[in-house]
Structure 1
Amino acid sequence: MSQRPERISERIARQIPAFGGAFVENGVLHVYLTIPDVAAQARAVIADELRRGERGEMNVQFRSARYTFRQLEGWLNGITVARLPSLVFTEVDERNNRLRIGVENAAARDQALEILARTQIPTNALIVEVAARPRLVQSLRDHIRPLRGGTQIIPVYTGWNSEGFCTYGFNVLFQGKRHMVTNSHCTQDQDVHGLGGYIGAIIHQPNIGPWYARNRNTIGTDVRDPHFTQQWWCDSNQARRGCRWSEAALVEINTSDSWDHGGIARPVERVFLPTVVGSLAINSHNARIGLSSTTDNIFQGDVLDKVGRTTGWTAGTVVSSCRHVYLPTGVGTYGLLCSGVVDAGVGRGDSGSPVFVTTPDGKNHLAGILFAGLINAFTGLGEQFYYSRWQDVNWELGEGNLAAVPASYDPGDPGDPWEPCESDPTAVECPV
């Protein structure tokens, strides 16, 4: 496999060694520097990187940093071999120019601080906190054609066994064929197969057809889902089943049904916290959110959106742009590296939701795919979701060759047809 591409903070740090991280607040990009004299050079590099990611110009303000980004990343890699107990996540907290570590309870926090005190990491560079462990979040539910992101799917594997409802991620062209991307855990039984390495699941939209027409809603087959592996950057003490950079699987479309390249279903409303669940009704006057490009230029403080089959169109603030998180399954714990974290509504069944950012020019840019959230065990809902970044999805599933948007930008198609169940709630296409 080719070398994993750098994210924007890594690229800036390579060009500006004094760079200490960046975050967005009230539309302003705040940038940490350990050496103020390089501000002019940093401004030019950042402007170039923003143009590359189609973010456009941003107002940049500089702050004094105690640590460089590369120092923090180096210490973060050192934490991997420290074998901290009950680890939930690790990250470079760019908003605070520190390392942030989450553990399951107060006792684990005390143990972690004791272990870290014996390392070369300065105490002032660390934030160690008790944190909830995110959950994989399986649970617009109508028969939607053309096939597009944000709608309900259900996988079938091992006979007619199914893991439950998930969300259609986004369409991609790969090797000249139509594909879509959803979560790895949406295509396999976690208690039997765990995560990754399983192919052959049959995907249906929105659900499995009746017994006499099982394949009526079949849309494709899972064809790529890399194994989780143990590498030097994977904390084998926590992620005993291995690590990956994305929680995603590639599904080849094998139906003749129409297919919307670069399109996401548009619900009638977009909601922010404290509202967790938005409307699931699709906007009949403008049924489509059009993607103009993909982007890796996401900072803490940015606002990201997602559309999912359980909580609809929710949006909120990025609280981490690159967090290593450890998720348990029925066969062991897995590590998901450099995941984004957003404070926004999420629920079981939203797994696979396309995640995107809207820039001031009104264009939408694909940022990744939702895979987990901090979910209440009783309500099945939560206020924070995790997503795998587009760059890592593209690298792991297509070695950089997935095309998630068409060559020409289509912002929407107000007259696009869809098939609401309200007209016939007993139709076999409608979920129960």
Structure 2
Amino acid sequence: MRRSLTLLLLMAVGACDRAVDPVAPGPDYSAPVFSATMSEVSQDPTPSQAAVAQAVPGFGGYFLDESGAPTVYLTDTSRRPEAEQALAGFLASRGFAAADLRVRQGSYDYLQLEAWYNTAWPKALAVSGAVFSDLDEANNRLRFGAASTSAVLAVQSALALLGIPSAAMKVDQVAPIYQLATLRDRIRPAHGGLQLNFIVENTSPVSYLCTLGFNAVKDGVNSFVTNSHCTNVQGGSEIPTTYYQATRNTPDNIIGFEVDDPHYWISPDCPIPGFMCRYSDAARAEYAEGQEFAIGRVARPVLSNNPAHPDMLTIDAANPTFRIVEEQAYSVVGESANKVGRTTGWTSGLVTETCINSIVLGAAKPIIQLCQTRVQAGVDSGDSGSPVFRVRPDGNVVLQGILWGGSVSGTPSFVFSPMFGVERELGLLDTTDPISEPTKPGNGKGGGKKS
């Protein structure tokens, strides 16, 4: 999970076909060095794989297996008590007891896999037709994908020169992933999952559709978050985007204005020549004066995972929203993830890969989205910006991140930026609902104020 890198062949669709803003080398967003103590790791409801590896010698990865059971790889299974201690916060947060933890015999220590991975992924990315690479904690090995039989063979040949055990690596032929640029009605107070409409200023009269991700308060400013590629320029807010909800057929539908969309940058953690990177495909907009919004709320359709049903975009009148009560920095392979988007509504599935780095093609300057998460669930164009969340047993939800891409061919899947990446770049955000009431109309400081 920690430093896995995925190359996802991404082609622009809808709102996603605009050039990346070329910039000079940016700030050093290199990955943090983990030095958490066992006590700190054990209290974390979703500790990073690297943090657990430092606390438990011989740790090879943790995840939820096919039956939903918490599972850990250990090269020395006698270290189970240490694994139970390190994962105590994770187990408790998901309703498991220490005895529920399943132990699998690991072949490789996670830190050893990470060292091999850091050598292997640049070689894999250099191969034409490569699709992704991942430090696969659910299988205790390195995994790579390529788009054709010939590309699979080429990746295998490149990796064979590195001296890494062949049993520690797997190369699969896989489908590419695409960027994705009723829930479509005008709704106030505004909240996550609703349709956004915008026009690329000064370039085209064509308007674009995305999804409002989630509401947030940043330094007292009432805001919402959507994708960076759902702006005038992906990366940079020099030409601020004006957003409408649901359509721009009247000025009364103006909902907000882009205020923060960090530039893509170059650093040692972005080592492929000519590429720029970020940890999230996220931008923040300030609510227009007088606009109502509901902090910590996501639209709740009547149905989920039913794309052919005529009511797939109909909001449940009796229970119209999900309530966000906490955030989750990272996801875990095997846990559930949901999204609500303006095109395919409410879909859900299991996390299949974590902390994959995605290469975005089709822009003037190629970009890499670092440490993203993939979910096996339905998605389509216009779902870009969808809030991604996990439903707790009490019916409230945990905000996991913001969707930006997916694959609609073969087995559908979507890719999202986790909250650790979003807040790493946009800063700490107040996203949860402290009460059950929606916010009041705006006070002249950009929108509704928290009540």
Name the TM-score class by shorter chain.
0.7 to 0.9
Letter of the 1:112 counterpart: V
2:351 is equivalent to residue 307 of structure 1 = no
2:247 is equivalent to residue 247 of structure 1 = no
4+ aligned runs moved over 6 Å, structure 1: 274-278
How far apart are residue 49 of structure 1 and its match?
Answer: 4.5
Counterpart in the other structure of 1:133: 176
SS of the aligned residue for 2:353 comes to: strand
Counterpart in the other structure of 2:391: 358
C-alpha spacing 1:49/1:162, structure 2 compared with 1 (3 Å):
farther
2:418 is equivalent to residue 389 of structure 1 = yes
C-alpha spacing 1:332/1:172, structure 2 compared with 1 (3 Å):
same
How far apart are residue 80 of structure 1 and its match?
Answer: 3.8
How far apart are residue 34 of structure 1 and its match?
Answer: 1.2
- Aligned residues of 2:152 and 2:173 also touching (Cα < 8 A): yes
2:430 is equivalent to residue 403 of structure 1 = yes
2:69 is equivalent to residue 28 of structure 1 = yes
* Identical residues among aligned pairs (%): 34
The CA distance in 1 between the partners of 2:325 and 2:122, in whole Å, is 41
Counterpart in the other structure of 1:184: 228
The CA distance in 2 between the partners of 1:220 and 1:367, in whole Å, is 23
SS of the aligned residue for 1:268 comes to: coil
Q: Please, which of 257, 265, 269 is the counterpart of residue 233 of structure 1?
A: 269
Counterpart in the other structure of 2:55: 15
The CA distance in 1 between the partners of 2:332 and 2:115, in whole Å, is 20
Q: CA RMSD in A?
A: 2.5
Q: Please, which of 63, 73, 89 is the counterpart of residue 48 of structure 1?
A: 89
SS of the aligned residue for 1:108 comes to: helix
How far apart are residue 382 of structure 1 and its match?
Answer: 7.1
The CA distance in 1 between the partners of 2:150 and 2:129, in whole Å, is 9
The 5 Å alignment of 1:241-280 reads: 241-271=275-305, 279-280=312-313
The 5 Å alignment of 1:150-299 reads: 150-159=193-202, 161-162=205-206, 164-188=208-232, 193=233, 195-199=234-238, 200-210=240-250, 215-236=251-272, 240-271=274-305, 279-299=312-332
Letter of the 1:164 counterpart: Y
Deviations 1:177-232 (A, max 9, x none): 111111111113xxxx5x3224411111111134xxxx221111111112222222
Counterpart in the other structure of 1:103: 146
2:191 is equivalent to residue 148 of structure 1 = yes
The CA distance in 2 between the partners of 1:15 and 1:278, in whole Å, is 49
- Aligned residues of 1:155 and 1:165 also touching (Cα < 8 A): yes
- Aligned residues of 1:271 and 1:277 also touching (Cα < 8 A): no
How far apart are residue 43 of structure 1 and its match?
Answer: 0.3
How far apart are residue 162 of structure 1 and its match?
Answer: 4.9
Deviations 1:272-330 (A, max 9, x none): 7x979971001111111001100135211111110000000111111112212222123
Normalised by the size of structure 2, how large is the TM-score?
Answer: 0.81
Query: Can you give the 5+ residue segments of structure 2 that lack an aligned partner in the other structure?
Result: 1-26, 35-46, 439-451
SS of the aligned residue for 2:154 comes to: helix
- Aligned residues of 2:114 and 2:135 also touching (Cα < 8 A): yes
SS of the aligned residue for 2:108 comes to: coil
The CA distance in 2 between the partners of 1:252 and 1:69, in whole Å, is 42
How far apart are residue 354 of structure 1 and its match?
Answer: 0.3
Q: Please, which of 134, 154, 165 is the counterpart of residue 91 of structure 1?
A: 134
The CA distance in 1 between the partners of 2:94 and 2:197, in whole Å, is 34
Letter of the 2:429 counterpart: L
Letter of the 1:197 counterpart: G
Letter of the 1:8 counterpart: S
C-alpha spacing 1:310/1:370, structure 2 compared with 1 (3 Å):
same
SS of the aligned residue for 1:270 comes to: coil
- Aligned residues of 1:30 and 1:60 also touching (Cα < 8 A): yes
- Aligned residues of 2:30 and 2:269 also touching (Cα < 8 A): no
How far apart are residue 383 of structure 1 and its match?
Answer: 1.5
Normalised by the size of structure 1, how large is the TM-score?
Answer: 0.84
The CA distance in 2 between the partners of 1:326 and 1:133, in whole Å, is 11
Which shifted more, 312-321 or 72-81? 72-81
SS of the aligned residue for 2:262 comes to: coil
Aligned residues between the structures:
391
The CA distance in 1 between the partners of 2:196 and 2:291, in whole Å, is 15
C-alpha spacing 1:11/1:55, structure 2 compared with 1 (3 Å):
farther
Letter of the 1:175 counterpart: D
Counterpart in the other structure of 1:426: none
- Aligned residues of 2:378 and 2:408 also touching (Cα < 8 A): no
The CA distance in 2 between the partners of 1:64 and 1:130, in whole Å, is 27
The CA distance in 1 between the partners of 2:396 and 2:184, in whole Å, is 26
SS of the aligned residue for 1:329 comes to: coil
C-alpha spacing 1:81/1:271, structure 2 compared with 1 (3 Å):
closer
SS of the aligned residue for 1:360 comes to: coil
Deviations 1:37-78 (A, max 9, x none): 211011011013455xx4443531111111122222222222
The CA distance in 2 between the partners of 1:271 and 1:98, in whole Å, is 32
Counterpart in the other structure of 1:328: 361
- Aligned residues of 2:313 and 2:342 also touching (Cα < 8 A): yes
